[in-house]
Structure 1
Amino acid sequence: AILETAGHKKAAAEAMQILLQVHLEKADGEQALAAAEKGLQLLQGLNESALEASLMVEKSKLHAGLHQFPESRSASEEALRRYKELNDHDGQAKATELLGAIEDAQTEVTKEEGMVAEERRLLQELGEAWHERDARAFKETLRKLYAETRITAMKAGDFLQPFFAAAAAEQDGDVTNIVHFWITNQPENVSEGDGGQEGFDKVAVNMERNLAYTWFRHTMMGYGPGFRMLHSFWRKGELSKGMHCQGLGVMEVKDDAEEWEEKVGYHPGMLDCGLQIGLARGHMQLHSSEKPKA
């Protein structure tokens, strides 16, 4: 501002170029773009084509970084015109290369936006299938998600957490039927994006722990140590597809407690932290009623 006031517009523009780099270091693209535009404004009428072209290149890159591709292309074309006037072959090559990079970036962004839209559409269909408890539609939608998008079983489970939590609340915290629906309606390609069978087993355990945490936070947090929620986490029944254990096992506390009920005295705040960091976890073991008798 001092340089501009004193009439040193070129020096002020060069200062804007330095300020632009400072904003880039801070990953502040909008402020960097404002500095580039201010620098170009200061250079108007000064016959400083080389400096203008350099700022145009920077402006083009910044617009591209903000996904403003028409503005980015326009700035690159203007920079190319200035470099041609200056007979600057290196500058022309740089501007031409930048134009190609802009086209590639726009193609990638368009592709990404299409993928995100498709993922969003299929996830919405998955939520609707869950709401209707339409097993066939649920399974087919999962198959499409796993085959055609980047959504894995882990990500699909994360998306469904609010739906599962709402259903658990309607069933007084019993998530047995929820887990059964999720496991038994997995398509044949379930393990492709989750590291095979072992990866899917981890998905199932993680889902149980997340459900436990969500149910606990929504119903029992802050009510003292006398809570009892263990009935929600015993899984009985036949082996389910995708699991190597009886149902989903039990919730276990890692500090050598054999079973959850031995830790009913845990203060809710401690359990809350434990569930968040994994101190309390889903564990593949049978409930006490199903263990072999001594």
Structure 2
Amino acid sequence: MPRGPSLPDVAAAKLREARRLVRLQRSFDAERVAEDAKVLFERCEDAGGVASAKYLLVEAALLEERIEEARQVATEELAAAEKAKDGLREVAMLRALLLVSLAEGKPLDALELAAKAEAVLLKAAAATPNPQAAGELLLQVAQSHMAQGTTAAQQAALNAALQAVDHFSRAAEGQAGPFEADAWRAVLNARVVLGKFEDGIRAAEAAMVICVDCGDEVGQALCLLNISQAHLARGLPLKAKKAAEKALGQFQEQNSDLLAAEALDVLIQALVGQEQRKDALQRAKQELSAFLSSGDKWATPRMRGCLVKALMNMDKKKEALAEAERALESAQSLKSLRAMNEAMKPVAILNIQLGKVDKAKDLADELLRMSKQLGDLDGEAVATQLICKAVQERGVFEEKAALEREAEDLIIELKKAMTDRDGPRFKEVLEKCYENENVFTEDVEEIIGPVILTDPDGLYEFFLNNQPEKWKIDRADDRKFDAAQQFDRRLLYYVFRLGAMGYGPGFRLVKTDFRLGEPGQSSKAVGTLNLMENCPDWEERTAWHPGLLDCVLQVGAARVMTNDLQYKAKIETEEHRTVAT
């Protein structure tokens, strides 16, 4: 009978699966499989295997920001490795502590640990060269340099990544394939940051070839994600969209909600870059709805963040703020500092845009504190800009509110003067109203309208007799008011259909239709036209829309419409505001 796989083979397979799950950012599954691998390696008395499993446990813990737990695992294993004088185990745990430092936002501490690991590795390599271990260390050195954010550090990251590629190319065949692809992806990211887009894409192509050759499906999806991000940074939304859609589909097939959310974010930005804002909003809502039924809670803030971006680009600020606050609540429930830091930015921005400057200032202050704690230089810059913007807008809103209060007081005073028939006071206040740009006709009409209805003729005469000299109205030139009859738009299109004019949805754009005077050629017709609520983006950008042009002629039908198609209410309209068709 054929024998089953040996215990070491099962442990190695578990280790490979745990590594795959870590790359997919599936922390819970990765931790469970890595723990199984550790137990099996302990049964085999394979100290190196145990160290590799613990390294993956550290990575899984850091995905959920359990920093102290990760530090404890790495520190204990490092002490055991030093006691056993096992150089490769020691290097692995120094690399694990390096990841802990990066998670804390301390890239310089990470580089110090990398230097220690390099010294230990050089000593161990004197007996047995290990290009695989050297490549993995250099890959993390590149990651540490990238986290610094300066141009010099980005160049250092590129150099380290290229050296990692060289080491992996000299590793044992079949051992370093995915790692070499990861190194090429690091080259891509560094080159994109440095503005070397064409060179970066060539690095991505090299990574993709390696992933296809070794059957690394996770690596292929990661390559597509990085390529989409590079195209987006280059300002090529169409190419970014194509790559992001492929990456999104592959991550969903591999049940990686976190990376799927990252790909969706690129896709939404790419659609917006193509002026397909409605498509972006629809896609964001669709993906979030499907995700919420069974998605990873750690991906919830990211997925909601995609919808927030789509809503903001549609200028739906209130809806965007509500969704951004939900994303922030999700991040707070996870107690994830990074997720809260990311989710808080749009909440602060939207509060400023909606005039809630005090709340925005408080959020920006908290954002600055968290960014400093995380060592997030970009976050610090954003928070500082938001604080300055909130302070500036507070002054603008306070000034605007004062002017609006002044305008409201003037209108109320005008109403009192009219009610009391106080001519001199009415004339004085009315002159101030004319000169105040914050006093609007509709606001005046709303407040003094009920007063005028008590004595229309008398108060009209009072109005004419008490005009400010500068704004005096000539009685002879005074405009009279006329009654306009409004027609039901649905019945209007029904009549058109009876007359064999069956307009489609894109040509039924009349919202209101009025007639001044009795039916006939001497009457006048006016109306309002609007595009459909769900019209394609191109229609909004068309200067002379065919449907609107056609509807201008449709409005004229009111001139000969019979009165049985009108609304019961009559709308008072100033004659000088009408436009004859």
TM-score range, shorter chain: 0.5 to 0.7
The 1:183–1:155 alpha-carbon spacing in structure 2 relative to 1, beyond 3 Å, is farther
How far apart are residue 132 of structure 1 and its match? 1.1
Gaps of 5+ in 1: 169-174, 192-196, 217-250, 258-265, 284-294
Candidates 165, 178, 182, aligned match of 2:463: 182
Q: What residue in structure 2 maps to residue 141 of structure 1?
A: 429
How far apart are residue 136 of structure 1 and its match? 0.5
Q: What residue in structure 2 maps to residue 98 of structure 1?
A: 386
Q: What residue in structure 1 maps to residue 30 of structure 2?
A: none
Gaps of 5+ in 2: 1-288, 486-515, 524-561
- 1:140-219 map, 5 Å: 140-151=428-439, 156=444, 159-168=447-456, 175=457, 177-190=458-471, 204-205=478-479, 208-209=480-481, 213=483
CA distance in 2, matches of 1:271, 1:2: 45
Please list the CA deviations of residues 158-216 of structure 1 after superposition, one character each: whole Å capped at 9, or x if unmatched. 64333222213xxxxxx2x433321231213438xxxxx89x999x52xx42xx659x9
Please list the CA deviations of residues 19-76 of structure 1 after superposition, one character each: whole Å capped at 9, or x if unmatched. 33355444414522432322322441x4x52x43221111212333444333221211
The code of the aligned residue for 2:356 comes to Q
**8 Å CA contact retained: 1:80, 1:91:** yes
Q: What residue in structure 1 maps to residue 376 of structure 2?
A: 88
Q: What residue in structure 2 maps to residue 69 of structure 1?
A: 357
CA distance in 2, matches of 1:9, 1:152: 50
The code of the aligned residue for 2:331 comes to L
Q: What residue in structure 2 maps to residue 128 of structure 1?
A: 416
CA distance in 2, matches of 1:188, 1:120: 23
CA distance in 1, matches of 2:365, 2:402: 28
Where 2:344 maps in the other structure, the secondary structure is: helix
User: Comparing both structures, which one devotes a greater share of its residues to helix?
Assistant: 2
Q: What residue in structure 2 maps to residue 20 of structure 1?
A: 308
**8 Å CA contact retained: 2:414, 2:429:** yes
How far apart are residue 121 of structure 1 and its match? 1.3
Q: What residue in structure 2 maps to residue 38 of structure 1?
A: 329
Q: With structure 2 as the length reference, what TM-score do the two structures score?
A: 0.32
The code of the aligned residue for 1:82 comes to M
**8 Å CA contact retained: 2:305, 2:324:** no
Where 1:150 maps in the other structure, the secondary structure is: coil
**8 Å CA contact retained: 2:358, 2:390:** no
**Matched positions, count:** 217
Please list the CA deviations of residues 235-263 of structure 1 after superposition, one character each: whole Å capped at 9, or x if unmatched. xxxxxxxxxxxxxxxx9779548xxxxxx
CA distance in 2, matches of 1:7, 1:154: 50
The 1:201–1:110 alpha-carbon spacing in structure 2 relative to 1, beyond 3 Å, is farther
Greater length-normalized contact order (CA 8 Å, ≥ 6 residues apart): 1
**8 Å CA contact retained: 1:53, 1:79:** yes
The 1:16–1:167 alpha-carbon spacing in structure 2 relative to 1, beyond 3 Å, is same
**8 Å CA contact retained: 2:431, 2:468:** yes
Q: With structure 1 as the length reference, what TM-score do the two structures score?
A: 0.58
CA distance in 2, matches of 1:149, 1:131: 24
The code of the aligned residue for 1:88 comes to D
Q: What residue in structure 1 maps to residue 5 of structure 2?
A: none
**8 Å CA contact retained: 1:56, 1:79:** yes
Of 181-190 and 20-29, the range deviating more from structure 2:
20-29
Q: What residue in structure 2 maps to residue 107 of structure 1?
A: 395
